[in-house]
Structure 1
């Protein structure tokens, strides 16, 4: 019986070195695994960065990839988690013609219903920002699409685990 392909979040704690992103992405590329989203930022530990990578693969594949990632010199620790083991969200921004904000009452209803917030307004355009799960952002995009979106951008997943990751303890040893 074949193992189920799942959406998994891989967290990688690293030193911040040039070229590491290329080497990590090459590990996925060699296995023909597409990266659905990738976010990197400062972690909770000073001078330690954290990659959050979303992929669709089996847990067996994830164990192998995490092992390979940990062989990189700058990698401190790597983990993988299922969606049930994480709390996650994405951010997005929409740039839309300003006239629509005043001429289309439906747009104001969409903004209220989705809990989006207006970041800026000028004569030419306004910018909406929203946070949520990917399907919620896609739903909002579909609703706004019929009015014309000038620009759209969505972040990669940001995530924390429900369980403690004990990375701080690992580094203090």
Structure 2
């Protein structure tokens, strides 16, 4: 079986230590987490983990099964990229003088569909949301001008198919 990128969605109660136990499942199998995001979900008092890994389908099935054995976990799913809509976000901090002195910077911002978040005397900040490749392309274009700081979020995603978590929770009530 070949390695593919999988997005694992985990719906859970928000309890201390769960992230550590979930990451331990990957550690035991020597599978690197490429991206991790934890936030509130569409369901009140339920958190959602979005974990991106590169592995085989057999291993991801095994991992999802192990994650679901955690007491606080309500349900876990996995998807390939074609089954999800996903984005990452990034912010770039650049020296302010470049915004006014280098016309090309303004063209890069416009062409990349990014936006200026703030401008101060010493720096300005650009925000970009999109696919990882789009963010990498913007990074490569800005790098020759000098990036003071750069940060990228983990993947956020929604499945194209309906996920039956809400129905599952209603059945548990």
Shorter-chain TM-score: what band?
over 0.9
Match of 2:75 among 74, 77, 88: 77
TM-fit CA distance, 1:4: 1.4
1-structure distance, mates of 2:89, 2:24? 26
2:151 is aligned to 153
- Secondary structure of the 2:147 match is coil
2-structure distance, mates of 1:139, 1:120? 21
TM-score by length of 2: 0.98
Match of 2:132 among 123, 131, 134: 134
TM-score by length of 1: 0.98
- Secondary structure of the 1:33 match is coil
2-structure distance, mates of 1:102, 1:73? 55
2-structure distance, mates of 1:128, 1:86? 26
1:1-173 equivalences under 5 Å are 3-173=1-171
RMSD between aligned residues: 0.4
Please list every run of 5 or more consecutive structure 2 residues that lacks an aligned counterpart in the other structure.
none
Q: Structure 1 residue runs of 4+, over 4 Å off?
A: none
